Amino acid sequence: MTTEQSQDQPQQQVPTLAEEASAAQEFLGGLLDVFELRGDLRSEELDEETVEVGVTGEDLGLLIGPKGQTLSALQELTRTAVQRRLGARSGRLLVDVAEYRRTRRAALEHFATDVAERVKQAGVPTALEPMVPADRKVVHDTVNAIDGVSTTSEGEEPNRRVVIVPAEQA
């Protein structure tokens, strides 16, 4: 085996996003069967490195859980199942159920915009409730796109929170 061949071989073993999506859909389909739930599975490549697998249907709240905690665990289980099945993962694998993540993102963007406008008007920093990293990122991205305010994070997990501050105090 030449050096060129040995360098090529591991690259061939890295699964494509489509293969990861297929393995994730198979895992999630089995999970739906075990829980006797009905749902439609779909996948969408969000960018070159990210694929989202979604489950839509009725009565899927069990898979979301309070504040999306069960969904977060489901995403980690799915990632682990895909990695074990394919031997590796090449990109980011996201799981959404009943469009919970999309709805949550839109609500967080709206909330963050409202708070940022109040901070701009009052000139007083505002600390938000503790959030998971993904939610904090949405808030940071949303607020930092607004002139006159910025964000910082403070605290330690699981009590880490975003603070929205007027730009002149940043």
Percent of the chain at pLDDT exceeding 90: 75
Which pLDDT tens digit goes with each residue over 4-19? 444 444 444 788 999 9
121 and 164 in contact (C-beta within 8 Å)?
Answer: no
Residue 170's pLDDT is: 60
- Contacts of 41-48 with CB under 8 Å at 24 or more apart are 43/18, 45/17, 45/18, 45/21, 46/94, 48/91
| H-run or E-run covering 44 | strand 40-47
Which DSSP letter does residue 143 get? H
CB atoms within 10 A of CB 99: 13
How does pLDDT run across 78-102, given as a tens digit for each residue? 999 999 999 877 788 999 999 999 8
* Rounded Cα distance, 17 and 93, in Å: 8
Q: Tell me the pLDDT tens digit for each residue of 8-59.
A: 444 447 889 999 999 999 999 999 999 999 999 999 998 889 999 999 999 9
